[in-house]
Amino acid sequence: MAAGGRCPGCGSAALVEDSHYAQQQLVCAACGCVLAEGLLTTTYTEEEHLREVAYSQSTGQKEQLSRCLQRGIRRVQDLCKVLQLPRVFEETAVSYFQRALQHPSFHLVSLEKKELLGGCCVFVTCRQHNWPVTMGTICSLLYAKQELFASVYLSLQKELELSVPALSLADLVKTHLNSFRLLQQAADVPAPFVEDKEKVVARTMQMVELASETWLVTGRHPVPILTAAAFLSWQSLQPGTRLSCTLGRFCRMAGVDLPPPAHLRLKELLEILLRMASQLAWLRVFKLDKKTVVKHIGDLLQHRLFLLKNAFCQQDGEEQGAAALGEGSPGSSPAAAGVAEEKGHPSGGKRQREGGPRPLLPPCLIHPRKRLRTAAPSPSGSAITGHEPISDSELEQYLRGPEEIRAFSRAKAWP
Amino acid sequence: SSLKDDLSTSPQLFAPLSPYDVDLPIQTTEDALFGSQFNQPKELPADFSSVDLSFLPDITQDNKEQNLSEDGCEMQKELDGSIPRNEESSIFMAESSLSYPDTTQASPEASGACPPLTPMTPMTPVTPTSESSGIVPQLQNIVSTVNLACRLDLKNIALHARNAEYNPKRFAAVIMRIREPRTTALIFSSGKMVCTGAKSEEQSRLAARKYARVVQKLGFPAKFLDFKIQNMVGSCDVRFPIRLEGLVLTHQQFSSYEPELFPGLIYRMVKPRIVLLIFVSGKVVLTGAKERSEIYEAFENIYPILKGFKKAS
């Protein structure tokens, strides 16, 4: 069996060691007869030349996991690589995914949902490490419907009892603005529109902080606020040339989607800025409107803390009633309140005068949508016990008469 | 009620009357232990095999002390509210002066004089009842189920009833509506029925009975078995805006706030087990209750937490 033997078929001594694919074989060069195959190495030196077998292959570690789990883990890992997340995130996400798939509520869900589950685990990991990423981003990477993603995410959060901290908007600013093409030199972008990214990021962060101070962020989708804030910041850095550019055009040039609520957020931000401008001494002479105020955004942001305090009266443990917003306050003297409020001393009277401070409230409370409500049943009025007798006549109204029944069955309305 | 009379007139004040089964026998056990304390002043009775503890469900020393201090309100819930409170607590107080000289040692469950342990599950902090909010949540929807206990021909019902809708390709039940109380019912061929839309438990019961009567009039031998309130939804307004981002930070283990998905914060309260939807406008929706007291209790628990965020802006 050693190299010095003879071929049993033809007796030739020309034996060569060849490998058939990866298997070592002893073959006769004359007649091609295979003498031996699958020789185990006998010396340590021979083993050194071969490639080592990976641990996962030799121990069958991969085979222990089901194919579905393997595929899912690979998908999670790929997603982490695409998002360029640190290595730690990948391990955490994979462990969440494994835990989730073992859970009875996820074990038998559709394949589509299992794919989304991987994305949810990555999303949760990012949020827990305060790594800014939106659901929209993950959904677009997975080609997923947002409602389905939402339902899988919520059940994941509930079943695994994960506590997920709220998304910090300030962190999101940087990552969101990274995708804006206006912040880099590009062929189709006119020169005056290109802007330095750092400046835009800094100003957008201040604008976003202002928005969250003035109740524009709570309860709203974060991305439209970012878009509107970025637009205003970009405009204000060179108002001369950029005031004519609309939000839509800005988004087209930047290569980002224009989310529909962004227009409303823009309007709200401008309203806040205009109120603040009314408190700046050197701006009061100008009749600012929502176009011209953009020129002064830099100043307004610089003094925003002072201006916010003066432009809006803070709620000091008072109940805001819907009545207080529209009508004059009966309690305080209107004359004194009229002068005193301008100076920024918050008083109880809330008047709806131009430039007068309004309460700092979320927009849904400033403009409450009047809904027709049926009168609330008084607790003592409807003393229903649940055991009242039911009259036949009342039930008759719900039963069809014989002619009606005949007409319906003739129409063959039933399957 | 008759129980009240028994209490005041019966000489056997400590005979186990049914609602008091849970409590009064404890007195006798305590007496036994107390007695044993006298006999063995230094040694705690480590072996309780002689004492019959089978009646004790899971009342530990903590619960007992809680019951004493919280004015019997815990017991009130268990006893179905049939006994007036002050009478109950007076019994307890009387007993406490007699048989509880040293309550920590006399616990049948604790071995050794260990202080009562606080439960380790995360509990939403309970507020003292003195600081009531003054706001009462209003019930908006009650969901109840009842068993009509007979198989139903849904096609037949849909043909003979004016207020019925049946589309088997879409949903395997008849959708029936009545005007008073304004409710909707889902009636299944198995005879089970779900009634939704009522504004109170009594209204839900009345509505369910009306549906059952309609089904009876259609010729089916419908009964009215196992009527049960499955879910109650209430809502109210705290009348000040709430910083949801702050609330999710401080109450992370109970809250879920995803503005990308839903504008409100979802707060899962542990005790009582109620889910609250809290919005920036100050409106709060409470759901998941089987009894209206759970809704009121949940709101009283959340109100001081929300008030804490009013000034934090």
Chain-chain contact of B253 with A220 (C-beta, under 8 angstroms): no
Query: Does the model's ipTM exceed the 0.85 cut?
Result: no
Residue A302: both structure tokens together: 């610089």
Which of A91-100, A132-141, B61-70, B284-293 shows the lowest per-residue confidence on average (mean pLDDT)? Answer: B61-70
Range picked from A95-99, A102-106, B82-86, B95-99 for highest mean pLDDT: A95-99
Task: Please report the pLDDT score of residue B128 as a whole number.
Answer: 53
Confidence of residue B121 (pLDDT cuts 50, 70, 90): low
Give φ, ψ of A109 to 5 degrees.
-75, 170
CA–CA min distance B125, chain A (Å)? 18
Better-predicted residue by pLDDT, A130 or B301: B301
Task: Please report the pLDDT score of residue B276 as a whole number.
Answer: 97
Share of chain B above pLDDT 90, in %: 50
Above 90 in pLDDT, residue B62?
Answer: no
Better-predicted residue by pLDDT, B127 or A5: A5
Chain-chain contact of A362 with B260 (C-beta, under 8 angstroms): no
The CATH fold assigned to A67-167 is: Cyclin A; domain 1 (1.10.472)
Which of A8-12, A54-58, A134-138, A155-159 shows the lowest per-residue confidence on average (mean pLDDT)? Answer: A54-58
Domain ranges of chain B: 144-229, 238-312
Shortest CA distance from B176: residue in chain A: A398
Task: Please report the pLDDT score of residue B285 as a whole number.
Answer: 97
Task: Please report the pLDDT score of residue B36 as a whole number.
Answer: 42
The CATH fold assigned to B144-229 is: TATA-Binding Protein (3.30.310)
Above 90 in pLDDT, residue B27?
Answer: no
Q: Are A181 and A189 spatial neighbours (Cβ–Cβ below 8 Å)?
A: yes
Domain ranges of chain A: 7-54, 67-167, 170-313
Q: How many CA atoms lie within 13 A of B61 on its CB side?
A: 19
The answer to whether the predicted template modeling score (pTM) of the entire model surpasses 0.80 is no
Q: Are A117 and A110 spatial neighbours (Cβ–Cβ below 8 Å)?
A: no
Confidence of residue B111 (pLDDT cuts 50, 70, 90): very low
Query: What would the mean pLDDT of A394-412 be, rounded to a whole number?
Result: 87
For residue A285, count other CB atoms closer than 10 A to its CB: 7
Q: 3-class DSSP state for residue A392?
A: helix
User: What is the per-residue DSSP string for chain B?
Assistant: -HHHHHHHH-S-TTS--GGGTTTHHHHHHHHHHHHHHHHSSSS-----TTS--TT-SS--HHHHHHHHHTTTHHHHHHTTT-S-HHHHHHHHHHHHHHH-SSTTTT-SS-SSSPPPPPP-S--PPPPPTTS-----PEEEEEEEEEE--S---HHHHHHHBTTEEE-TTT-SEEEEEETTTTEEEEEETTSEEEEEEESSHHHHHHHHHHHHHHHHHTT-----EEEEEEEEEEEEE-SS---HHHHHHHTTTTEEE-TTT-SSEEEEETTTTEEEEE-TTSEEEEEEESSHHHHHHHHHHHHHHHHHHHTT-
User: What is the per-residue DSSP string for A11-45?
Assistant: ----EEEEEETTEEEEEETTT--EEEESPPP-SHH
Q: Taking all residues of chain B, what is their mean pLDDT, rounded to a whole number?
A: 73
Task: Please report the pLDDT score of residue A44 as a whole number.
Answer: 57
Shortest CA distance from A373: residue in chain B: B140
Give contacts of B205 with chain A, Cβ < 8 Å. Answer: 386-387
Cα–Cα distance list, A293 to A233, A275, A303 (Å):
12, 10, 14
Chain-chain contact of B244 with A165 (C-beta, under 8 angstroms): no
Among A154, A167, A215, the residue with its CB nearest the CB of B280 is: A215
Chain-chain contact of B260 with A157 (C-beta, under 8 angstroms): no
Better-predicted residue by pLDDT, A184 or B272: B272
CATH class of residue range A7-54: mainly beta
B141-160 pLDDT tens trace = 999 999 999 999 999 999 99
Out of 3.30.310.10, 1.10.1240.10, 3.30.70.270, 3.40.50.1010, which CATH number does the structure's domain B238-312 have? 3.30.310.10
Query: What would the mean pLDDT of A189-208 be, rounded to a whole number?
Result: 86
A226-262 pLDDT tens trace = 999 999 998 888 888 888 888 998 888 888 889 899 9
A11: left (phi over 0), alpha (psi -120 to 50) or beta: left
Task: Please report the pLDDT score of residue A140 as a whole number.
Answer: 87
Give contacts of B202 with chain A, Cβ < 8 Å. Answer: 384-386
Give contacts of A321 with chain B, Cβ < 8 Å. Answer: 239
Give contacts of A377 with chain B, Cβ < 8 Å. Answer: 199-200
Confidence of residue B89 (pLDDT cuts 50, 70, 90): very low
Distance between start and end Cα atoms, chain B? 52
Q: Taking all residues of chain A, what is their mean pLDDT, rounded to a whole number?
A: 78
Among A390, A400, A396, CA closest to B156: A400
Among A222, A365, A387, the residue with its CB nearest the CB of B260 is: A222
Task: Please report the pLDDT score of residue A392 as a whole number.
Answer: 87
Task: Please report the pLDDT score of residue B131 as a whole number.
Answer: 64
Query: What would the mean pLDDT of A359-375 be, rounded to a whole number?
Result: 75
In CATH terms, are B144-229 and B238-312 the same topology?
A: yes
